[in-house]
Chains A and B, each alone.
Chain A
Amino acid sequence: MKKILILLLMLPVFSAIQLPAGENSLKLSDFSSISYKIVYESYRNGSYDLHITSADASWRRQLTDTKDRHEMYPKVSPDGKLIAFTVDSGEGRERKRDLYLMNIDGSGQRLLSKNSREHCWSPDGRYIAFVKSESARRFSGESWATKGLFIYEMQTGNVREHANNKLEHLYNLCWSPDGKYITATVLGGMGFRHTDIAIEAYGTKYFQLGIVGCRPEFSPDGKKIGWGQTDRDFRIAKIDFANRPPVKQKDIVTIIQVTKGYEVYHLDWSPDGKYITFAFGPDGEQAVGGMAQGWNICILELSTGRWLNITWDGNHNKEPDWVP
């Protein structure tokens, strides 16, 4: 039997409970009041495609259906009308990863930028930040194998490089709700070994967040941040950019911890901040394009710590993103 141990912190009470997998009383119908849908990637019949589901799993639809390419890493625009996503085509060292945009119903696909990935939306929906693949010689699926930070302007279609052109090896970009910072994980870049940083969206400076792990994601009000410290846990902390570092060690709490042999990744806060969605499954490859047999999409209710998976097929279901 799968063993998942959830340690819940009921912010700001700082009390914790433990729940074994499958033994909580949550039912899918408990999520029926959630009005937000979730977009995610899933691998079937030899390729990744994007899917959309209601939170209670009562409604589901496949958004893309291509055999010769992989649609992945969906990020929904703040108005809920568009999805920015990556498309992998080709195989092996000839593989390419490009950034695309489409309507929320899967129609109107269009290329935004070649050799681009790890994107996020600005909170006003006017821009998409992304990084480019580093090597022109051959494809690398490594999340960190990127160069630079670029901004796509939705209105004009223009792309400009960030004011700091020394940025490298960034992944999992996330724009702060106040629009001032873009957070990212960095590996082997700018003198860092492996850490998480905030970059001024309209300046050149960057600084460490004060957390250990990867893939930080802001809560919708921008007052908290969640991330994975290891393959097997999620942590949450208050974040205040008036401080350096903006996260204090005393504020960090573990909200999910799974036993060895299983992993949790790709945390995303619901638009109302009451839930997180994430991917959970046996040891697998979390990076975009990686295979993760047995992984499913889950929802955790932050106020109670109750959680439930909303997919069951285990078809490498990853990278869930709420539709506002």
Chain B
Amino acid sequence: MFNKHIALTAAVLLVFTMCGKENGKTVREIKTKSGIEMVFIPGGEFMMGGDRAGETPVHRVGVGPFYIDKYEVTQEMYRMLDLSNPSHFKGEKKPVEQVAWMNAAIYCNERSIEEGLDPCYDENTWECNYSANGYRLPSEAEWEYAARAGSQGKYFFGDLKNMKNYAVYSQNTPGGTENAGSKKPNAWGLYDMYGNVAEWCNDFYSTVYYSRSSEFNPKGPGEGTARVIRGGSWNDPETVIYSGYRGFDESFNDTCLLRDTIGFRCVRRADK
């Protein structure tokens, strides 16, 4: 009876440890087969965009449920898969950077293979199979939905004066990345959604896409020359670090264009 009571208590604690209702949504942390922490993001709707050129019109978007990495992909995570680490600022706990979009997609595929999942990317065409159960880069809509974490303002933390507590950016770093998770997370437990490294999204970049994007799970234009980056980096000023800011970069696979300000995190399909 005593043991049964302890077991019941432990089970309840486990549930409370792993689940939390934040901003009206029940998020849940998991560990993947590789031991990587992800957060289950329930589907929902939000107002996407902002008031700057390229961010308009602000429009209602729905996204389905998905898992997203709790932290930006670190150099330790690269080493676990025996992949070449191109980072300028070396450190096991630091985010990987100088990653071309194509190599971020390759990481996603390798992580999928490692965990017995179906890779999302066709390595000949680099098209993403969203129905595969493996890892991929987030769509721009998924990224912004996760970054906002239910918030509706410019910043997920409210007032701008709190920026230093939530983001590694040009005003609080001596010049370079810091360990993933060194600042406070957003309401859904995601770290470094602002700053540290800007994060690749799967979408091609287009300034006019918001005016014609689909209302549910938009996946970006069918073609383009640059891919979307989100969240800003250690080298960016506060003016480009907010939930709706859209960046882009053309370093799809060109070594000469790699930047030590760009990294990524992965997402995975969730069916419930």
Contacts and interface: CB of A to CB of B under 8 A. Distances in A.
Contacts of A146: 84
A97 interface: no
A239 interface: no
Nearest to B119: A93
A137 B106 CA distance: 12
A227 to B, nearest CB: 12
Interface stretch (A8-16, A30-38, A100-108, A185-193): A185-193
A213 B106 CA distance: 26
A192 B82 contact: no
Given A187-B255, A194-B258, A230-B256, A138 B86 contact: no
A135 B83 contact: yes
B88 interface: yes
Contacts of A136: 82
Size class of the A contact interface (CB-based, 8 Å): 20 to 34
Contacts of A145: 84, 86
Contact of B86 (A144, A191, A285): A144
B84 A134 contact: yes
A136 B81 CA distance: 10
Interface string A186-209: 011001111000000000000000
Nearest to A287: B255
B98 interface: yes
B115 interface: no
B253 A188 contact: no
A301 interface: no
B255 A144 contact: yes
A92 B123 CA distance: 8
Interface string B61-95: 00000000000000000000111111110100000
B90 A191 contact: yes
Contacts of B255: 142-144, 187, 194, 214, 287
Given A142-B103, A193-B98, A188 B82 contact: no
Contacts of B81: 137
A187 B258 contact: yes
B256 A214 contact: yes
Nearest to A145: B84
Nearest to A188: B86
User: A92, A188, A194, A231 — which one has the most chain B CB atoms within 10 A of its CB?
Assistant: A188
A213 B256 CA distance: 8
A266 interface: no
A121 to B, nearest CB: 24
Contact of A93 (B84, B123, B256): B123
Contacts of B86: 142, 144-145, 169, 187-188
A231 B82 CA distance: 30
B120 to A, nearest CB: 15
B87 A188 contact: yes
Interface centre among A134, A135, A146, A213 (most CB of B within 10 A): A135
B260 interface: yes
Nearest to A193: B88
11 contacts: A137-B82, A137-B83, A138-B83, A138-B106, A138-B110, A140-B84, A144-B86, A188-B88, A188-B258, A193-B260, A214-B256
Interface of B: 81-88, 90, 98, 103, 106, 110, 123, 253-256, 258, 260
Given A142-B103, A146-B84, 16 more contacts: A92-B123, A93-B123, A136-B82, A140-B83, A140-B84, A140-B103, A144-B84, A187-B255, A188-B85, A188-B86, A193-B88, A194-B88, A194-B256, A214-B256, A231-B256, A285-B253
